[in-house]
Structure 1
Amino acid sequence: MTTVADILRSKGHGAIHSVAPSDTMLLALQRMADQSIGALLVLEGPGIAGIVTERDYARKIALHGRSSASTTVGEVMTRKVHCVAPHQTSEECMSLMTTHRIRHLPVVDGHQQLLGLISIGDIVKEIISAQQFTIQQLEHYISGTPAVQP
């Protein structure tokens, strides 16, 4: 069973992209565009203050005619952030994302230290990879050829 730690390892140890609550949404949008990502963690000191997404922009700024240059991240960010631990499974993450209709989960350790951020895309990629491996194993079993080791 794939864990969050496995997913972080497969992604590599890239930078955690973030903004501060006092930053403008224009800056947040530019960072998301530069990195081709859909969300940024909002960090205040060492802790997670929230998360800001393209969805937040669309629903809380664009639809209300607000200016992204004069609106701060803190005004529109989602404050209730669901986090996961490295030992949790991809299935647990998928369930949490589905239940709360979210697409991103910060990963924190037992001391609430931020380790990374996983997305629904990361989860789907791992599930597809596991299914492909299972299919290959079954094909080898059926054909009687030696199985491939992971």
Structure 2
Amino acid sequence: MQRKIVPGVIKEIRCTTVTADKTVREAAVLMTAENIGAAIVVGAGGLVGIVTERDLMRKVIGANQDPDVITVGDVMTQNPDTITGDCLSSKALEMMVEKGYRHLPIVDAAGNPIGMVSQRDLYQAVQESLAEDLQACETYVHGGESYGVGA
């Protein structure tokens, strides 16, 4: 699975952002409307954090905090690890598993946020890659076109 994140894993780049001064409820409404599990937190200097549904559950709901009072800045992960669009999917997945992430912000060469990749995106890419490999092996075994031989 040596696909680059963009466009090999993520075909359509979406970058949903929120500012640190927004309430947790506002962030939750946005994330629900966009059907996403995490949003990039931006400020004057660009990416400043990431807020996830897990942050909302553990740091607000589970801690019995008021989502209309607590801000995104109170619960976000500051200065998160990021990847670029040319990062290999295997490396991104390895980082996510090793560090326990479910989402990783994608940034451009200047460090500006351009999107987000999730474990679900990467596992789907793995599944597609394995299916392609299996099909190629079956074609080779059953006498189809040559497997692994240049034309």
TM-score by length of 1: 0.90
Residue type of the alignment partner of 2:12: G
Q: What is the root-mean-square deviation of aligned Cα atoms in Å?
A: 1.7
Q: What CA distance in whole angstroms lies between the structure 2 residues aligned with 1:80 and 1:51?
A: 8
* Residue-by-residue CA offset, 1:30-87 (whole Å, 9 max, x unaligned): 1111111111111113511101111101111112110101111001111131101222
Q: What CA distance in whole angstroms lies between the structure 2 residues aligned with 1:20 and 1:2?
A: 32
Q: What CA distance in whole angstroms lies between the structure 2 residues aligned with 1:80 and 1:47?
A: 11
1:54 pairs with 2:53: yes
Percent of matched pairs sharing the same residue: 27
Residue type of the alignment partner of 2:128: S
Q: Equivalent residue of 2:49, what SS?
A: strand
1:106 pairs with 2:96: no
Name the stretch that deviates more: 135-144 or 30-39. 30-39
**How much does 1:147 deviate?**
6.3
Q: What CA distance in whole angstroms lies between the structure 1 residues aligned with 2:25 and 2:43?
A: 18
Q: What CA distance in whole angstroms lies between the structure 2 residues aligned with 1:128 and 1:112?
A: 30
Q: Equivalent residue of 2:111, what SS?
A: coil
> Does the CA-based 8 Å contact 2:47-2:112 persist in structure 1?
no
Alignment of 1:52-91 (within 5 A): 52-91=51-90
Partner of 1:127: 126
TM-score by length of 2: 0.89
